[in-house]
C-alpha cells in the first residue's frame, strides 16, 4: 500500500509542476526577455533567425528560477486537493501519518533540486554565452569580428595549463601571438608566431614563429626551434576568444569556473564577498526546490476553493518573500555584516523553519 501511496502522491505533483514550469516561464519570458529582445532587434537591426536564437538561448536561465516556484505550486495544489477531498483524513485513518505522506513529495523536491543544479551548471552558462555570441555575430554581420589585446588563461583540472596572448583577432586569424605553456615545475614552453590561423578540423596553425622548450630538470636549459608552420592544439575557437572566460560575468560561470576565478582574485588581494555569495547561491537556490516542497505541502492542507488559482497566488507571494530575503541577505553579506554562506542560505533557513513548524502543526 505504501508504494501505491508514493506513486499516487508523485503523480499528483508531476502535472502541476510541469504546468508551473510552462506558466511561470512564459510569464517571465514575456516580462523579462521579450522587451529587451525587441529593443536589441530594433537597435541592431537583427535578422529573424538571430532573434529566435536569442530568445531560446535566454530561456534556460529563466527556467532555473521557475523550478522552485513550480514545485511550490505543485505541492500547494496537490495537497490542497487531497485535503479538500478528505483524502488526507482517509490516509490518517488507515494509519498513514502526514509525515509519511509527505516523504514522496520531499523526494521529488530533492530530485528537482539535483536537476536544477545540473541544469544551472551544464546548460545555463553555455546558453548565456551562446546568446552573447549570437548577438555579437549579428552586430558584426558582413564584416569580420575584431578584438584587440587578447590575454586568455586556459585551465585543466583547476591548474593553469597555458596562457594565450595576441595583439589582435580578426576573423579566424590571430596576429602577434605568444603562448606560454606550464607544467608542474613552471613554464615548459613559449611559442611566438606572427600569425595563427584557425582550422575547421580543430586547433591552430602557427606561421613564421619560434618555439622555446624549457628542460623539466633545469629551466636554464632552453632548446630553441624556428618554424615556418606548426600545428598547436589549443582548444579555444575564434568564437571563444571573442567571448572569453576572462570576460564572463560570474552569473555565466559554472561552480568550478567561479571558484577558480575567486581563487585568482583572492591571490591578488581583491574583495570577493559578493562573488562568494554568488558561489553559495549556485547550491542554495536549487536547494530551494526541496525547501519549497517542505513548505508547500502543509500550506496546501487547509481546504480552499479554486485550489489552482489560490496556489498560483500563494506561490507568487512566497517566492516574492523568498527573493526579498535573498536580496537582503546578499546586501548584508556584501557589506560584511554576515558571512557569505549565511547571506546565500538564510532564505532557505527561514523558509525551512516555517515549513517545519507548519508540518508539525498539520501532523498534530
Domain boundary among 231, 246, 261: 246
Does residue 142 have a pLDDT over 50?
A: no
> Per-residue pLDDT tens for 238-250?
877 776 544 567 7
Give the pLDDT of residue 125: 86
pLDDT-wise least confident of 58-62, 135-139, 213-217: 135-139
Co-location of 27 and 133 in the same domain: yes
Residue 254 lies in a domain: no
Co-location of 100 and 26 in the same domain: yes
Co-location of 346 and 282 in the same domain: yes
Co-location of 201 and 284 in the same domain: no
The mean of the pLDDT values for the chain is 84
Facing residues of 147 across strands? 169
Residue 259 lies in a domain: no
Co-location of 178 and 133 in the same domain: no
Co-location of 134 and 12 in the same domain: yes
Residue 353 lies in a domain: yes
**Distance between CA atoms of 32 and 295, rounded to whole angstroms?**
27
Domain that holds residue 321: 2-139+270-363
Co-location of 80 and 189 in the same domain: no
Facing residues of 186 across strands? 183
**Distance between CA atoms of 320 and 314, rounded to whole angstroms?**
10
Does residue 145 have a pLDDT over 60?
A: no
Residue 256 lies in a domain: no
Residue 15 lies in a domain: yes
Coil vs helix vs strand at 166:
strand
Co-location of 86 and 176 in the same domain: no
Tell me if 221 sits within 8 A of 214, measured CB to CB.
yes
Split into its structural domains, the chain has a count of 2
Does residue 2 have a pLDDT over 60?
A: no
Co-location of 103 and 181 in the same domain: no
Does residue 309 have a pLDDT over 80?
A: no
**Distance between CA atoms of 27 and 119, rounded to whole angstroms?**
20
Residue 251 lies in a domain: no
> Per-residue pLDDT tens for 67-83?
999 999 899 888 888 88
State the cell numbers at 13: 505533483
Co-location of 133 and 154 in the same domain: no
Give the pLDDT of residue 141: 57
Give the pLDDT of residue 192: 93
Does residue 289 have a pLDDT over 80?
A: yes
Give the pLDDT of residue 315: 77
Co-location of 153 and 190 in the same domain: yes
Residue 81 lies in a domain: yes
Does residue 131 have a pLDDT over 50?
A: yes
Amino acid at each position: 500500500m505504501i508504494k501505491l501511496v508514493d506513486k499516487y502522491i508523485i503523480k499528483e505533483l508531476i502535472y502541476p509542476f510541469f504546468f508551473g514550469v510552462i506558466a511561470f516561464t512564459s510569464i517571465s519570458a514575456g516580462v523579462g526577455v521579450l522587451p529587451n529582445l525587441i529593443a536589441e532587434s530594433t537597435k541592431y537591426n537583427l535578422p529573424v533567425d538571430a532573434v529566435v536564437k536569442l530568445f531560446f538561448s535566454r530561456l534556460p536561465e529563466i527556467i532555473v528560477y521557475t523550478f522552485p516556484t513550480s514545485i511550490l505550486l505543485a505541492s500547494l495544489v496537490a495537497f490542497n486537493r487531497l485535503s479538500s477531498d478528505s483524502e488526507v483524513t482517509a490516509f490518517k485513518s488507515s494509519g498513514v501519518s502526514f509525515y509519511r505522506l509527505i516523504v514522496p513529495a520531499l523526494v521529488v523536491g530533492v530530485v528537482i533540486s539535483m536537476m536544477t543544479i545540473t541544469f544551472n551548471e551544464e546548460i545555463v552558462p553555455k546558453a548565456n554565452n551562446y546568446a552573447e555570441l549570437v548577438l555579437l555575430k549579428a552586430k558584426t554581420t558582413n564584416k569580420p569580428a575584431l578584438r584587440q589585446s587578447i590575454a586568455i588563461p586556459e585551465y585543466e583540472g583547476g591548474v593553469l595549463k597555458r596562457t594565450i596572448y595576441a595583439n589582435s583577432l580578426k576573423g579566424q586569424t590571430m596576429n602577434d601571438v605568444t603562448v606560454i605553456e606550464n607544467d608542474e615545475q613552471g613554464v615548459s614552453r613559449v611559442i611566438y608566431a606572427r600569425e595563427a590561423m584557425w582550422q575547421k578540423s580543430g586547433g591552430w596553425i602557427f606561421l613564421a614563429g619560434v618555439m622555446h622548450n624549457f628542460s623539466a630538470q633545469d629551466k636554464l636549459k632552453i632548446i630553441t626551434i624556428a618554424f615556418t608552420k606548426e600545428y598547436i592544439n589549443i582548444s579555444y575557437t575564434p568564437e571563444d576568444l571573442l567571448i572569453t572566460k576572462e570576460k564572463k560575468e560570474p552569473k555565466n560561470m559554472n561552480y568550478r569556473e567561479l571558484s577558480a576565478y575567486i581563487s585568482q582574485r583572492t591571490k591578488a588581494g581583491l574583495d570577493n564577498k559578493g562573488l562568494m555569495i554568488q558561489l553559495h547561491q549556485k547550491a542554495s537556490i536549487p536547494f530551494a526546490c526541496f525547501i519549497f516542497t517542505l513548505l508547500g505541502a502543509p500550506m496546501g492542507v487547509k481546504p480552499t476553493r479554486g485550489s489552482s488559482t489560490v496556489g498560483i497566488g500563494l506561490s507568487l507571494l512566497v517566492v516574492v518573500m523568498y527573493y526579498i530575503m535573498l536580496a537582503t541577505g546578499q546586501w548584508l553579506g556584501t557589506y560584511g555584516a554576515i558571512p557569505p554562506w549565511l547571506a546565500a542560505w538564510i532564505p532557505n533557513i527561514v523558509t525551512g523553519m516555517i515549513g517545519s513548524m507548519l508540518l508539525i502543526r498539520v501532523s498534530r
